[in-house]
Structure 1
Amino acid sequence: MNHREVAAVLTYAGRLDPRLIRTEPGEADNQLDTWHELLDDVPMATGQGWDVREIVRKRIVSSPYPVLPADVAREWQAHRRERLARHTDPTPRADPDNPEAWRAELLAARDAVAAGQAAPSAHRGITAGRHRPGLKDQLAAVGSYIPPAVRAELAPYRPARAAREAAIAAGGPDVLGVPCDWCHAPEGEPCRRRRISLDGTARGNAPRATAHPGRIDRALAAQAQQASAA
């Protein structure tokens, strides 16, 4: 801000808080010089949510003490940091083989965002939640990542998954959708072969192509519960 803008801010602040009014010419000049010294690099207002008058007003309302130019300067620095924290450097248009031009464009973009001359450039994020309407239909239209012919060729090498897919396709329960109480296989993992040795400890950890009967019963119960809830 220049001297005229700082004088306008002081006039506005004095109207809200008469304690800031200086009647002596020497005191008024010193006050103007002090405020200008600290607010020389602070803009009066930007199109990006910054207005010195609003900062002064909030400070006068929230604090019993007279507003100081340092208070406004600190608010401006916090505003700059907040804007830069929301900014993601876009890819410069300069030639990447020219590091000086590349860096100059990056710094110019950051300075424009910090000064309130440009809006922060954010990452492109997900605009919808998990339960987006029509998502299942879109995924079904895309189809499987594994073609059916390839899936059939892989079936001998992953028997548990093949049996699971065949059961689900036939309308049966998803046996891997529940944990196994016998071998303690977690949800999504195939059952394991467990043999009890003479000392009572479990031996063997090879995956089974089929689930344990107890797990199948639990999956059937879960399927029936889901059907009744629907």
Structure 2
Amino acid sequence: MERNEVGALLAYIGRLDPRLTRTDMGEARDQLDQWHDLLGNDVPLVTHHGWDARVTAREYILESPYPIMPVDIARKWRAYRRDRLQRHTDPLPSVSPDDQAAWTAELRGTRRAVATGVAAPTQHRELTGGEGDPELQERLRDVGSCIPPAVRAELAPYRPARAAREAAVAQGQPDVLGVRCEWCLAPLGSPCRRRRIGLDDRARGSAPLTHPHPSRVALAAAQQALQPAMA
């Protein structure tokens, strides 16, 4: 924050809280020096991504009966910067990873830009995006699933509803979990549940069922019968 920006901030605060106004030239100069020493090197007046020292000062004046001090704004800025860095995920630098100095410099520059409010935080890791390895995608299409058959068989006792669904689909039967259950309101992909209704007509609990409700089986069979006709 430049010296003239600190002066503008003090003038704004003085209009909201006259207790901070200094009429004596010497006192006003000392006050400006004090605020500039604490805010000038670290705290900006405003950034492009949500920080405004005037808004922070106004909120403090509305909430606290005590006169605002420069350290109050500095603490808010540090909390703002810490929150941005916690929400930031380092994007992949554009330089070669073999150039360690350039790689580190770009990472530091990106973090500094996020911390100072110049750039917005990058909240999604780049490893989750993109098309992926073509060879891996081809192998996954050949196998049909990322879970090997042996592992799937071992997991079957711990997820009986999914195991029954996979076995039925493999035998050409309707995909029961591919439709919504109109009886227990189970969504797509979720097993049916046994609902317990109390005396006040409110649901008291539910337990997942291994076998779906008959109405859901009938609905899945009807949709499967309609698919060839629609095709």
TM-score, normalised to structure 2, is 0.59
Query: 1:94 deviation in Å?
Result: 1.4
Residues 114 and 164 of structure 1: CA distance in aligned 2, closer, same or farther (over 3 Å): closer
Amino acid at match of 2:22: R
Check conservation: 1:167, 1:173, Cα contact below 8 A. Answer: no
Equivalent runs, 1:153-192 vs 2, <5 Å: 164-165=167-168, 169-170=172-173
Residue 86 of structure 1 is matched in structure 2 by 87
What per-residue deviation string (whole Å, max 9, x for no partner) do you get for residues 161-196 of structure 1? Answer: 8x944885256999xxxxxxxxxxxxx9xxxxxxxx
Residue 47 of structure 2 is matched in structure 1 by 46
What per-residue deviation string (whole Å, max 9, x for no partner) do you get for residues 68-116 of structure 1? Answer: 0000000111111111111111111112111111100000000011111
SS class of match (1:47): coil
Aligned partners of 1:226 and 1:143: how far apart in 2? 31
Residues 57 and 168 of structure 1: CA distance in aligned 2, closer, same or farther (over 3 Å): same
Aligned partners of 2:170 and 2:104: how far apart in 1? 59
Residue 55 of structure 1 is matched in structure 2 by 56
Amino acid at match of 1:30: D
Check conservation: 1:86, 1:121, Cα contact below 8 A. Answer: yes
Is residue 2:144 matched to residue 1:145?
Answer: yes
Amino acid at match of 2:37: E
Gaps of 5+ in 2: 129-140, 150-162, 178-190, 192-209, 221-231
Amino acid at match of 2:25: P
What per-residue deviation string (whole Å, max 9, x for no partner) do you get for residues 107-145 of structure 1? Answer: 00000111111111111599xxxxxxxxxxxxxxx8981
Gaps of 5+ in 1: 127-141, 152-159, 175-187, 189-217
Equivalent runs, 1:1-230 vs 2, <5 Å: 1-40=1-40, 41-123=42-124, 145=144, 164-165=167-168, 169-170=172-173, 219=211, 222-227=212-217
Aligned length: 159
Amino acid at match of 2:96: D
Q: Percent identity?
A: 47
SS class of match (1:89): coil
Amino acid at match of 1:226: R
RMSD, matched Cα: 3.4
Residues 224 and 59 of structure 1: CA distance in aligned 2, closer, same or farther (over 3 Å): same
Query: 1:226 deviation in Å?
Result: 2.8
Aligned partners of 1:8 and 1:172: how far apart in 2? 68
Aligned partners of 2:94 and 2:122: how far apart in 1? 15
Check conservation: 1:173, 1:223, Cα contact below 8 A. Answer: no
Amino acid at match of 1:169: G
Residue 157 of structure 1 is matched in structure 2 by none
Residues 54 and 86 of structure 1: CA distance in aligned 2, closer, same or farther (over 3 Å): same
